[in-house]
Structure 1
């Protein structure tokens, strides 16, 4: 049973390569977001209303989540800004 590889148009191999490079997307609940960023609930929601923190997504009437990549980007931007402010 020697199967020969099939020739494709290249789109599927590009998709497969992307899946191997990018980690799977995750959604974070509020307790995990609070642990990661070191802010309390009220501070997170205040910054969200000011546009200084990633917006949550609603999965239902009592279920808010944040996209992990957006939280990671926010953390990195804070780290970069504070390293630039240091003399």
Structure 2
């Protein structure tokens, strides 16, 4: 459940900064299903929930995600 008191929306530039991934990598991984999808805030506005990004980062660290195990 989303709690507005503990969660917030992050725009793409902040997601890039926090994750260290490039914009193209984020969108490619979203297509592959290995990165959280954004939520639509309006007709021309999208963002990611901070909690979703944090959970994804934890899963990568814990090794439950195979995202960073592929060679480029």
TM-score by length of 2: 0.76
* Aligned structure 1 segments of 4 or more residues deviating by more than 4 angstroms: none
Q: What is the aligned-residue RMSD (CA, Å)?
A: 2.0
Partner of 1:78 in structure 2?
A: 60
Which structure would you say has the larger Rg?
1
Which of the pair has the greater relative contact order for Cα pairs under 8 Å at 6+ separation?
A: 2
The residue aligned with 2:31 is: 49
How many residue pairs get aligned? The number is: 62
Taking structure 1 as the reference length, what is the TM-score of the superposition? 0.64
Gaps of 5+ in 2: none
